[in-house]
Amino acid sequence: MYRNPFTSDLLAELERLQRQAQRFTGPATSIRGYDRLGFPALNVGGTPDSVEVYAFAPGLDPKTIDVTVERGVLSISGERAATLPQAGAPGGGATVHINERFQGRFQRAISLSDDADPARVSASYTNGVLHISVKRRESSQPRRIEVH
């Protein structure tokens, strides 16, 4: 547990402690109920020539997902429509028993390292996972220099 002794923001400290406490809710990692800050969940990794981002965003129309790169920041945004009947809608009699799934507008941003080339980004959406691949710039690849 890392505690920053110089913090002046008590609210941020409390939030950090709560997040840490939530991690220890049992042997199973729980991902129930994406909250506003956490949809979609992101996994980011790197290969020698690319940066790979996986956004877990089921139930979207891929044409409506906005993926942009600006000043080194990759931004993923969109809106997930509600699948539930709204309160007071006609054709009534439907009762909502559980409502945990995220709905509404979302936006998440990732800063890309300097060697990521914004001109070489590809994105695909399969089984509810948005996979974004950003190739690294050619000039930044490690090159071996011959010694004669």
Partner 1 sequence: MNITKTNPGADTARADTPAMLPPVDVVEDTTRIVLYADLPGVPKDKLNLRVEADTLTIEAEVSLPMNTQMEASHAEVQVPRFQRSFTLGQELDRAHISAELKNGVLTLTIPKAEHAKPRRIEVVAA
Q: For 63, list phi and psi in degrees, rounded to 5.
A: -70, -20
18 vs 127 by CB, closer to partner 1: 127
Q: Name the minimum Å distance from CB 130 to partner 1.
A: 9
Q: Name the minimum Å distance from CB 115 to partner 1.
A: 14
Q: For 134, list phi and psi in degrees, rounded to 5.
A: -115, 115
Written as six digits, the tokens of 34 are 């994406």
70 vs 100 by CB, closer to partner 1: 100
- How does strand 41-47 pair with strand 66-70? unpaired
Q: Which residues here bind partner 1, judged by CB under 8 A?
A: 27-34, 38, 40-48, 50, 52, 54, 56-60, 83-85, 93-102, 125-129, 131
Query: Measured between alpha carbons, how far is 117 from 137 in angstroms, rounded to an integer?
Result: 5
Q: Name the minimum Å distance from CB 63 to partner 1.
A: 12
